[in-house]
Structure 1
Amino acid sequence: MRFDLIVVGAGLCGATVAERAARQLGMSVLVVERRRHIAGNAYDEYDEHGLLIHRYGPHIFHTNSERVFHYLSQFTSWRIYQHRVRAMVDGQLVPLPVNLDTIAALYHVSVDEPRLQSLIQQDIMAVPRVENSRDVVMSRMGARVYEKIFKNYTKKQWGLNPEDLAPSVCGRIAIRMNRDDRYFTDRYQGIPSQGYTKMVERMLSHPNIHILLGTDFRELRGSIDYDTLVWTGPVDEYYDFRFGKLPYRSLSFQLAYHDSEFVQPVATINWPNEYDFTRVTEMKHLTGQFHSKTVLMYEFPQSDGDPYYPVPCDESQRLYLQYQTLARKEERVHFLGRLGTYQYYNMDQVVAQALHFVDTVLGR
C-alpha cells in the first residue's frame, strides 16, 4: 500500500490537513486514528437518553480568524453561542473572567466603576519580574483574587502550585475593567449545529481519504509506503519516549442526570476551593437541545490517562526541547497540533496551524 500522505490522528488538526491535501492538492491520504472514532477530543455523540454529549469535556469554538471560521463553515452551520462561566466562591457565584462584578462580590462592596478599579489597584502586588503564574495574578489582580479564585483551582487542575507553572497558564485568563461577563470576546463564537463529529465527518468525506480507526500507527510502520507523514499525537511517543515521557494532565468525567430542563444558570460553574472536581458543565446550554432531561459533566484532573494538556513548566520545556531537536531533523515527518508540538493550543489555533502547513509545506 502506498499513499502520498499519512496523517496520524483524526482530530481537528489532522482532519484539516487531510481534507486540504485531498481536496485542494489531489493527494491520496491515509488517516490513522488509535481511538475508534474521529474528531479527537472534540468528539460528541448522543447518549442513551438522546442527549448530545461532548465526551471529552466542553468544547466551545471561538476565533478572530476569518479564514479559520470560513474554512470550517464549509462543513457545518453554527449555533451562535457565547459562553458564560461562574465560579463558586464563599457560597456565591461570581463571573469569570474576573470583571468589575467579580471584584464587587469578592470585596463585598457595591460601588461605582472608578471605585472598584481603585480597590483592585490597591491590592495589586508589585512584581519586578513576572516569572510564574502566581506572579501574573498577583501583579494584575492582587492577593484576594489570587487566593479566592486562582490558587486552589490551579493546584487541582495542574497538580502543581502556581509558582511552579509558567506565566502563560494564568496569563490566558483575562481581567476586565468593565461588566462584560462573556468568557470569550472573539469575533466568531459558536457550536457546530449538528455537533463536532458531524463536522469532522464531512471534512474527511472525500474519495482520496481513507481512514483506519482503532489502529496504532506504530504497528503499521514498515508496511505502508508514503511520501509525507503528519503526526498529531504526542511527540515523545513517536520517538518511543527516548528521553522519557513528557508530562501531561488528563481528565476523568462523571455524568449526573436530572429530570429537569436546566440545573445551572450558565453552562459552566468552576469550583476553585471545594471538592476534587474543577468545574461542572451542563451540556444543553452549549448544544441548545430541547429535552426533558439534562446532564451535568463533572471534571476531575489527573496525571494518568489520555493526554489533554501539556504541562507548562521549566522541566517539561527542557525535556520537550530534546524531542524538538529530533523533530527538526526529520525530512518526511512533520509534527502538528497540541500534542505534536507540546503547546496549549485552542481549536482555532490548530486549524490555523494545519492550514498554514498545507500552504507552506505540502503546497510546495
Structure 2
Amino acid sequence: MRMSFMGFIVWLLLGLFCCVKADLQLGFYDKSCPKAEKIISDFVKKHIPNAPTLASPLLRMHFHDCFVRGCDGSVLINSTSNNQAEKAATPNLTLRGFGFIDSVKSLVEKECPGVVSCADIVALVARDAVGVIGGPYWRVPTGRRDGLISNSTEALNNIPAPTFNFSALQTSFANKGLNVTDLIWLSGAHTIGIGHCSSFSSRLYNFTGKGGQDPSLDRFYAANLKKACKSLNDNVTFVEMDPGSFRTFDLGYYKNVLKRRGLFQSDAALITNAPTKSSIMNLVNSPPEVFFQEFALSMEKMGRIEVKAGTTGEIRKNCAVVNS
C-alpha cells in the first residue's frame, strides 16, 4: 500500500510537478469559462441516476482515450472515407456514451464557444459519473487540448486486451508511464459494468486453440458463464463483470479475482504474479476507503498521460470532427 503520510506527500509533490510540466491545473477554466465544470457536473448528476449503467462505459471511454495518443479526445473522432478512426478498432466497438459527451459539449459550447476541450469533458464526465453511483472522487486538473489524429490501428495496438497475460499488461501500462500499482487499482474499474462474451469466450471453449477450458477459471463460475455465452462465436450476449454488484463500486471485483472468478484473462493474470496477488489479498482485508483512495490516485495519474496543452492540438467545436 502507499497510504503512509510521507508517501502521500511524495505523490502530491510529484503530481504537482506533473501538472506544471503538462500545463494542467485545477480550475483551468475559472476565468475563461467559470461555469464549465458546474454545467458538466449538473448534467451528469441529472442524467446518470436514470442510466446508472452508463457510468462504466464513460469511465472506460476515458481509459481508452488516454491509452492512445494520450488523453486528447481522439477516441471521439468519427471515421471518414480516408481514415478508420479509433472508434472502428475492435476494443472500441462496444464503447457507449458518445451521445452523452456530445450533449455535454453542446451545453458548454453554448456557454463558452471554443473554450473547453472535448478531452477535458471526457475526463470530467468520467469522474462525475463514477461519483454519482457512489464511487470515489478524484481531482481532475484541466487544460487538455484535443488531438488531430485518430487511428484504429493505434487503438488496437495500445489498448490493453482482455486476453493479456501479466507480462503484457505490465508492459502496456509501463509504456504509458503507469506501474504495477496503477495496474492493480485501475483494474478495479471492472467492479462496475459488463463484459461481452466475445472478450472471454475462448476461456470457455477454446483456450488452448484446440478446444478446452482455461484451467485457471473456477469451474462453477465457468459453468454459469456457459449458460449465458453458449458458443465461441457469440458476439451479442454480455454478462456482469462483478456479478451481483456490477452497479456498485466496491471490493467485489478483487474478491472474485482471488476466487478465480475474474471474467477476463487479464483479470486472472493479476494473481499469477505473487506480489500483485499479495497486494490484492491485503486490499480485500482493508476498509473500502483504501480502494477508493488508491483508485483515485491512479486515475489522476492516468489522466495526465501524454496530454496536449498550450498551443498543441486544438479545441474541437464538434467532438466527433476535427476542426476544418
TM-score range, shorter chain: under 0.3
Flag the structure with higher strand content: 1
Larger radius of gyration: 1
Flag the structure with higher helix content: 2
